Chain A
Amino acid sequence: MRVRRRRFNDVPDPAGNGLLDRRVFLKGGAGALTAGAFMAFASSDAKAAPGEAPAGMKVPGAPLSLYGSPATFEREVTRTLIRSQPGTTGAGASRTPLEALEGIITPSGLHFERHHNGVPTIDPAQHQLLVHGMVARPLIFTVAALSRYPMESRIHFLECSGNSAVMFGTTPPAQTCGQTHGLVSCSEWTGVPLRLLLAEAGVDPRADWILAEGADAAAMSRSVPMAKAMDDALLALYQNGERLRPENGYPVRLFLPGYEGNMSVKWLRRIKVTDTPTMTKDETSKYTDLQADGKSLMFTYPMEVKSVITRPAPGLKMTGPGLYELSGIAWSGRGKIRRVEVSADGGQTWAETALSAPVLAYALTRFRIAWKWNGAPTVLKSRATDDAGRVQPTRDEFIAQNGANAIYHYHAIQAWRVESNGEVKNVYA
């Protein structure tokens, strides 16, 4: 995949190091500076002769279809780095190709996967959800019943807490942006607030937790604080307007905005209201953060403020000096993104980027800034701040605080080195 450069005029360089005023693409007199200066296309051998109408204008096109697919020319845009436990095919992860995407919504078919024993096939007519434990009225809900409750639609990211774990390693990974950072995706989720069902069941006031359990072959289960369950927890039935994809929990999943992805239990079959955490395997032996001193942090739920430049990024190649638009995503499990700054000189100077609307709590936020690359090797970085005032740490700061063994919740500033030949590499800088 390559990045094609458009022509540009000389423009002022107020931020230094080639980072330009964020409105440069909109200013008058810079007609050649149209937005969308970055494009990545697979080249095609069949070219029409100059002035001749393209072949597609001379014959009828493809027929109507029942369900659309991406263009055949985009077949290389797929989930990436599929890895499963030895001897298994469905106990691992696949990742979103972040460098190939734009905007904030991840296509449902490219949403990352993390399964613990494959994707179950579930007939929605047979599936049931049990709500029981410390409740006045244990209840069973069919999917048809759930579908009659009042719903909410919200745009939220989901991030596996093991996202970017490879960055704990001693050498920077030779991987694409999606391979290192693609365990985050963002969708519009529509479903029923969990508090409605809990209210219907009548929660014992002494209950402080719920256990959520999936109908997969791992019966994946996590404990969730009652405060979160009663606040913004959603029983999601739809993703990006259609029923959930099987690999995202069809026909119903729990969704906990901002929390580590593992807690948003897919294929939800059971909610047990309890007085204590159940201490399941995935909240004790896994998804706990081992610190350098041998102690472990437990119940580290919110995903921390984080960002990454997706264009340019490893997996894309630049094709010479000129004007580019840097584009990336930022998110925080503690609220909205307030600011994203970018450096084009390895962190010596920073310029504030433009945030593309909408800027939503617990959602990916798209940031952009114009950058005139002079062709010399340099290091690009992005640094996000959320509305709680939390700022991404450097990698050194993060490891100094958390050690190199934590595995989970890596969220440090990411550096991409741009080589003079246009290659983009993951570096520790």
Chain B
Amino acid sequence: MSTRKAFAVATCVIVLGGCAGAATRETSNLGRAATPAEIAGWDISIAPDGRGLPQGAGTAAQGALVYAQKCQACHGEKGVGGPNDRLAGGQGTLASKTPVRTVGSYWPYATTVFDYVRRAMPFLQPLSMTDSEVYAVTAYLLNLNGIIGEQDVMNAETLPKVRMPNRDNFILVQPWKPRGQ
């Protein structure tokens, strides 16, 4: 077989191989398999239905102590009057000329409070609180806003069931089409 013929045969094989694999789309295949342990360590996001919430629990009463130590300097006593975002109050102001957006007046999902506090707070030491501390601070913020009681236990079961007051006031704009349509 001449060199040129050999090249032609090889090309056909490659082309056929490409055709056979087209249904699954050829890729460079340079990703390595992630182990369940690796994924568990990386996956810190919480879905609005509570999927991803960890073990642990806390109440507003417990959260008050954590808040005073780790949150109050920036967010003020009882979530008001600090140099950074106000966290409590503001209900009934959203349609006014001076709306006050807080956890209580604006945030649509209680799971978001847990997710955000755990990943990003306290500002100078993110990812430093235990899951139970995060549950407790979340409970404290919800209680400050009159959404749950002081002794209500927040955990993976109860937190997703909390109904936030402003939940129904978001209009979902959908600038994309669901796939297959």
Interface residues of A (CB under 8 A from B): 85-88, 91, 116-117, 130-132, 137-141, 145-146, 148-150, 196-197, 199-201, 205, 208, 211, 213, 217-219, 221, 225-228, 230, 269-270, 272, 274, 276-281, 284-285, 288, 290, 292-302, 404-405
Asked whether B42 lies within 8 Å of A131 as measured between CB atoms, the reply is no
> 11 interchain pairs (CB within 8 A)?
A87-B84, A131-B34, A140-B31, A196-B28, A225-B176, A272-B43, A284-B108, A285-B106, A296-B106, A298-B173, A299-B174
Interfacial residues of chain B within 145-181, with CB under 8 A of chain A in the complex = 169-179
Instruction: Name B32's contact: one of A91, A139, A277, A296 (CB within 8 Å).
Output: A139
- List, in ascending order, chain A residues with CB within 8 A of B175's CB: 299-302
CB distance from B169 to the nearest CB of A (A): 5
Complex Cα spacing A141 to B46, Å: 23
Q: Is B109 interfacial (CB 8 A cutoff)? A: yes
Asked whether A280 lies within 8 Å of B45 as measured between CB atoms, the reply is yes
Q: Is B16 interfacial (CB 8 A cutoff)? A: no
- List, in ascending order, chain B residues with CB within 8 A of A277's CB: 48
- List, in ascending order, chain A residues with CB within 8 A of B170's CB: 284, 288, 295-298
Q: Is B123 interfacial (CB 8 A cutoff)? A: yes
- List, in ascending order, chain A residues with CB within 8 A of B108's CB: 279, 284
Count of chain A to chain B residue pairs whose CB atoms are closer than 8 Å in the complex: 167
Asked whether B119 lies within 8 Å of A219 as measured between CB atoms, the reply is yes
Decide: A296 near B178, CB < 8 A? Known: A219-B44, A219-B126, A276-B47.
no
- List, in ascending order, chain A residues with CB within 8 A of B112's CB: 279-281, 284-285
CB distance from A143 to the nearest CB of B (A): 11
CB distance from A303 to the nearest CB of B (A): 11
Decide: A87 near B74, CB < 8 A? Known: A281-B115, A404-B97.
yes
Asked whether B30 lies within 8 Å of A298 as measured between CB atoms, the reply is no
Complex Cα spacing A300 to B108, Å: 16
Asked whether A284 lies within 8 Å of B109 as measured between CB atoms, the reply is yes
Decide: A138 near B46, CB < 8 A? Known: A87-B74, A284-B112, A298-B173.
no
**What DSSP secondary structure best describes chain B's contact surface?**
loop
Asked whether A141 lies within 8 Å of B111 as measured between CB atoms, the reply is no
Complex Cα spacing A202 to B49, Å: 24
CB distance from B39 to the nearest CB of A (A): 5
Q: Is B4 interfacial (CB 8 A cutoff)? A: no
CB distance from A356 to the nearest CB of B (A): 29
Complex Cα spacing A148 to B30, Å: 8
Complex Cα spacing A85 to B82, Å: 12
Q: Mark contacts of B82-96 with chain A using CB atoms, 8 A cut-off: 1 yes-contact digit, 0 otherwise.
A: 011000000000110
- List, in ascending order, chain A residues with CB within 8 A of B54's CB: none
Asked whether A284 lies within 8 Å of B179 as measured between CB atoms, the reply is no
Asked whether B27 lies within 8 Å of A199 as measured between CB atoms, the reply is yes
- List, in ascending order, chain B residues with CB within 8 A of A199's CB: 24-25, 27
- List, in ascending order, chain A residues with CB within 8 A of B120's CB: 116-117, 217-219, 281
Asked whether A140 lies within 8 Å of B83 as measured between CB atoms, the reply is no
In the complex, what residue of chain A is closest to B41 when comparing beta carbons? A130
Asked whether A117 lies within 8 Å of B123 as measured between CB atoms, the reply is yes
In the complex, what residue of chain A is closest to B52 when comparing beta carbons? A278
Asked whether B25 lies within 8 Å of A132 as measured between CB atoms, the reply is no
Complex Cα spacing A274 to B51, Å: 11
